[in-house]
Amino acid sequence: MLLRSGVGRLLLVDFDQVSLSSLNRHAVAMRADVGIPKAQCLKKHFSSIFPECQVDAKVLLYDSSSEDEILSGNPDFVLDCIDNIDTKVALLAACVRRGLKVLSATGAGARVDPTRIRIADLRESTNDPLSRAVRHRLRKDYGIESGIPIVFSLEKPKARLLPFKGPTGEEENPSDYQIVPGFRVRIIPVLGTIPAIFGQVMASYVITQLAGLKVQTEAVVNLDVDHYEMLHQRLIEHEESLYGTSTEVLVDVEEVRYIVKELWHGRSAREQSAKNVGRGMWRSVNELILVRWDRTKPASVSNLILLKFKEADEHESRTLDDVREKEPEFFKRVTSILEQAELDFGL
């Protein structure tokens, strides 16, 4: 679609080959193309549609040694469609470091509902194991927490990787069959329509960006009942990222509902005041996260506050003594609310 929309220069990078199993989702590949590098297959097909387009095909695996060859030349956009976590994280980090615009596709496997595909910042995704792993690694290894747009599905995957069975039919070690270390030989089942729609969404995003057309994407919000599951999962991921474990998350989804709805009324703790307590309306759930009030204590009902992401980052960079000294009213109000929670739950 980028080609058909008039993009005049394309660099195609893929180390993989067209396979029988991938014909269900590769629109340009024919049976005769099985065994041919995907990048070369694309280039051949493109030449019959828009021969004036300058198409360069590289049969390469992205890594540190190929970074300059692939990312040099100041590309207008980098489209990441990698499903290997190590390679994906390295590419995204390199794009951020070089100041390149990048759009990343996450897991399309085991999804069947096209209406739940969204574009959002990496930190806003939910129900997607791949983006969760990428988010954790980017923060841990590169200090990158946001600023990377992604295409993902709100739908929970319908299947997982199955046990690997070799030619004998017995379960075997998948690593024994790897062509490239670290790349799996098992795949999650893929309904061909879903990755195709992922691709169309990516192309639409890039085309409108290049044209300077502002598009207001739909907020990443499920039904109201899912808000609390989202915030609970976000809390777990945040704890794992910050503390290396989620074992000190002492709340479940129902307790998150109480904290968010009854204590903070769906608003950031910093937006609460004597005038609007009890009148709050849900902000976009994408802006909010539960974090510890006192970092030395577990994430419990009486030690969690609801903040916007930037507010959470600022709060976690300070001590409670600093908050008490510089913002006595805020400290007093939050402490009072959390003390009430402690009484409500008999803690």
- CA-closest candidate to residue 126, choices 63, 219, 33: 219
Record the tokens describing residue 239, joined without a space: 């704890």
Beta strand pairing status for 54-58 and 288-292? Answer: unpaired
Distance CA 224, CA 281 (A): 12
Half-sphere CA count of 186, side-chain side, radius 13 A: 15
Residues 6+ apart with CB under 8 A from 284: 219, 220, 221
Q: Are 239 and 248 in contact (CB under 8 A)?
A: yes
* Residue 251, both tokens: 């709340």
The closest of 314, 232, 308 to 272, measured between CA atoms, is: 308
Between 56-65, 98-107, 276-285, the lowest mean confidence (pLDDT) is in 276-285
58 forms beta bridges with: 13
β-pair partners for 299: 249
> Is there a contact between 67 and 94 (Cβ–Cβ < 8 Å)?
yes
Whether pLDDT at 181 is above 70: no
Q: What is the largest CA-CA distance in the chain?
A: 73
- pTM over 0.75? The answer is no
pLDDT over 70 (residue 345): no
Q: Residue 236: what pLDDT? A: 95
Strand partners, 156: none
Average pLDDT over residues 40-57: 97
Q: In the numeric block, which tokens belong to residue 228?
A: 């609390």
Per-residue model confidence as pLDDT tens digits over 195-239: 999 999 999 999 999 999 988 776 554 435 578 888 999 999 999
Q: What is the pLDDT, as a whole number, of residue 180?
A: 52
What is the phi-psi region of residue 82: left when phi exceeds 0, alpha when psi lies from -120 to 50, beta otherwise? Answer: beta
Could you tell me if 52 and 7 are in contact, meaning their C-beta atoms sit under 8 angstroms apart? no
- Coil vs helix vs strand at 274: coil
Integer CA distances (angstroms), 63 to 13, 15, 70, 172, in order: 12, 11, 10, 28
Helix (H, G, I), strand (E, B) or coil at 20: helix
The domains located in the chain, with CATH, are: 61-211 (3.40.50.720), 224-344 (no CATH)
Q: Give helix 224-243 / helix 129-137 axis angle, nearest 10°.
A: 30
- Across the range 165-192, mean pLDDT stands at 60
122-159 confidence digits (pLDDT tens):
887 776 778 878 988 898 899 998 899 999 998 877 77
Residue 285, pLDDT above cutoff 80: no
Whether 287 contacts 309, CB under 8 Å: yes
| Alpha helices, DSSP H, located in the chain | 38-47, 67-71, 85-98, 129-137, 193-211, 224-243, 253-257, 309-316, 320-326, 328-344
Among 206-220, 277-291, 324-338, name the most confident range: 324-338
Residue 4, pLDDT > 90, answer: yes
Radius of gyration for the alpha carbons in the chain, expressed in angstroms and rounded: 23
Minimal CA–CA distance to 268: which of 222, 211, 315? 315
- Beta carbons of 297 and 250 less than 8 angstroms apart: no
